[in-house]
């Protein structure tokens, strides 16, 4: 499909990256309709390195990469992804989660690329955070080009666009000033000169604009000294909304997504981009990630999960699944979302392997999150024969502190399964041990059964004794558990399963119980029930 051929909604896989890819294809087709601009589509993500990179930054790159993947599938045309770091921005406050905070306090107002690295590993604070960003993007295999604002400004890459800003300076002011309060309005300029003596990023009123010379004239409010500063060569930078617009214009950005908190900024930057003579990019407005208390996560506060924390408890594919799910809906980003997200990924991976075998170019496969997470090719060993939630429950009842404990049950359940044949399962076992130790074991609370529940549990144990020594599959055992719940008139039936989880496992939710019995073992489950009933009588 060429970009002159716009796919209808019914032609596209039912996945949001393809909807975004169509918007991108339309945008590229419009700007190249004259045949004068045949460059690859340029997708951009922005990063403010004032705090350590967090999982939201990863999410933006991941989601933009999936739009790029869909665009390639849709059009066959080349594209680029630019991960742009605004490392020339000023340090406005000291983050809470870094060392040497007193030292950093002395550099408030300095460009981040000139602030010393409090970790002592890089030439600047920005360089440290940029390296962190690139390290975890590289670890996920993203294909991107890293761009430094400092390098682009100082190399002259933005010089022509900056001179254009001076030509339309008053028009930009007319867009921005109505959005500001009286005090800020009095001193606002889209241009921020760097102080020639202190290096500080100056937020001062411009006394004069010279578009021909490419300079601005301003007064140091502390000393009264007047300076004339070129806007080119890294001697000045732009206020961020104007900077965003200037970047779109200078680089010809075709697509950039942003968070819901930036809706007004996107609108203003789009107007400024048009004033400069450019076309604002297409893009998606995504919802924000929330912490345990429902507050927006913040780089400076460090109140969200880090990539490293997530990967202690689940494989990277599960993080991709979390980012893929409904980007326009706000989601809590906390430890308790990890198990379900991991199992969501496993379910999609299992389906995707079948779809890849049956119809490798079909829309059903391309609508599957695993197709995006695995960059279009689903590995044969993706997925797991045992869900993550089941492993957590097995770790819980076995009080497992090493992977070998879980593998003992898994091998008995299926002798053909091993860490070598199922590497994803091997990874999940390790994660389940860590998650159980940190979150499940400390929170376990068993309750006593009611009289009705006690009778049903006794019935379940007696019925299971009839299956001892037999090879019984999970489906048969699940039907058995259902029948006992119905026999004892549990209404609704899910209250019977709530009893099993709370009385036997010490938690509110759990796995398909038949599958759990098959994995844990019939004799072991009988012993688990007997122990729970005995515990109740001794309480």
For the annotated binding site for ATP, the residues are 299
φ/ψ region of 382 (left if φ > 0, alpha if ψ in -120 to 50, else beta) reads: beta
Burial zone of 266 (CB within 10 Å; 0-12 exposed, 13-18 middle, 19+ buried) = buried
- What is the pairing mode between strands 226-230 and 236-238? unpaired
Interatomic CA distance for residues 85 and 42, integer angstroms:
16
* Backbone phi and psi for residue 99, each to the nearest 5 degrees, phi listed first: -80, 175
Structure tokens at 253: 């950005």
H/E element, 217: strand 215-219
- What is the pairing mode between strands 236-238 and 191-193? antiparallel
Interatomic CA distance for residues 112 and 92, integer angstroms:
9
Helix axes 159-167, 263-276, angle to 10 degrees: 90
Q: Residue written as tokens 């909304």? A: 241
Contacts of 326 (CB under 8 A, 6+ apart): 16
Burial zone of 286 (CB within 10 Å; 0-12 exposed, 13-18 middle, 19+ buried) = buried
Interatomic CA distance for residues 362 and 426, integer angstroms:
31
Beta-carbon count within 10 A of 479 CB: 11
Interatomic CA distance for residues 473 and 460, integer angstroms:
16
What sign has the CA pseudo-torsion 228, 229, 231, 232?
Answer: positive
Structure tokens at 432: 């389940």
* Backbone phi and psi for residue 333, each to the nearest 5 degrees, phi listed first: -115, 85
φ/ψ region of 228 (left if φ > 0, alpha if ψ in -120 to 50, else beta) reads: beta
What sign has the CA pseudo-torsion 331, 335, 340, 343?
Answer: positive
Annotated binding site: 299
């Amino acid at each position: 499909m060429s970009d002159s051929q716009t796919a209808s909604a019914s032609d596209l896989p039912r996945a949001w990256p393809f909807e975004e890819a169509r918007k991108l294809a339309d945008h590229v087709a419009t700007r190249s309709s004259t045949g004068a601009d045949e460059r690859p589509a340029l997708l951009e993500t922005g990063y403010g390195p004032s705090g350590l990179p967090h999982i939201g930054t990863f999410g933006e790159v991941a989601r933009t990469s999936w739009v790029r993947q869909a665009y390639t599938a849709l059009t066959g045309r080349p594209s680029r992804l630019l991960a742009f770091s605004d490392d020339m921005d000023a340090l406005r406050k000291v983050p809470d989660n870094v060392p040497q905070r007193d030292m950093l306090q002395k550099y408030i107002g300095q460009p981040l690329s000139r602030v010393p690295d409090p970790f002592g590993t890089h030439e600047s604070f920005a360089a440290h955070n940029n390296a962190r960003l690139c390290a975890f993007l590289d670890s996920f295999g993203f294909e991107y080009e890293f761009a430094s604002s400092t390098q682009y400004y100082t190399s002259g890459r933005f010089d022509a666009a900056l001179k254009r800003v001076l030509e339309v300076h008053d028009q930009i002011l007319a867009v921005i000033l109505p959005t500001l309060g009286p005090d800020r309005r009095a001193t606002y300029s889209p241009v921020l000169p760097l102080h020639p003596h202190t290096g500080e990023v100056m937020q001062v009123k411009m006394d004069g604009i010279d578009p021909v010379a490419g300079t601005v004239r301003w007064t140091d409010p502390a000393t009264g000294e007047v300076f004339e500063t070129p806007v080119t060569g890294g001697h000045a930078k732009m206020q961020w909304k104007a900077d965003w617009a200037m970047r779109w214009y200078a680089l010809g950005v075709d697509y950039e997504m942003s968070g819901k908190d930036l809706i007004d900024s996107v609108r203003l930057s789009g107007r400024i981009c048009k004033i400069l003579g450019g076309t604002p990019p297409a893009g998606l407005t995504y919802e924000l990630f929330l912490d345990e208390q429902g507050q927006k996560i913040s780089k400076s506060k460090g109140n969200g999960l880090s990539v490293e924390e997530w990967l202690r408890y689940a494989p990277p594919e599960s993080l991709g699944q979390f980012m893929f799910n409904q980007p326009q809906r706000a989601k809590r980003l906390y430890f308790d979302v990890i198990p379900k997200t991991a199992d969501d990924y496993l379910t999609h991976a299992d389906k995707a392997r079948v779809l890849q075998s049956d119809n490798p170019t079909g829309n059903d496969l391309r609508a599957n999150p695993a197709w995006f997470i695995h960059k279009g090719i689903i590995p044969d060993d993706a997925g797991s024969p045992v869900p993550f939630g089941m492993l957590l429950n097995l770790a819980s009842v076995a009080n497992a502190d090493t992977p070998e404990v879980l593998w003992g049950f898994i091998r008995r359940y299926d002798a053909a399964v091993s860490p070598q044949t199922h590497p994803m399962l091997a990874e999940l076992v390790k994660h389940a041990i860590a998650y159980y130790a940190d979150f499940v074991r400390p929170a376990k609370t068993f309750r006593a059964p009611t009289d009705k529940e006690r009778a049903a549990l006794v019935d379940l144990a007696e019925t299971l004794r009839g299956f001892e020594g037999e090879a019984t599959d999970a489906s048969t055992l699940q039907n058995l558990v259902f029948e006992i719940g119905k026999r004892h008139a549990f209404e609704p039936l899910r209250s019977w399963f709530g009893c099993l989880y709370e009385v036997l496992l010490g938690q509110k939710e759990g796995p398909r119980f038949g599958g759990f019995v098959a994995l844990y073992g019939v004799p072991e489950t009988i012993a688990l029930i007997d122990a729970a009933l005995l515990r109740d009588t001794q309480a």
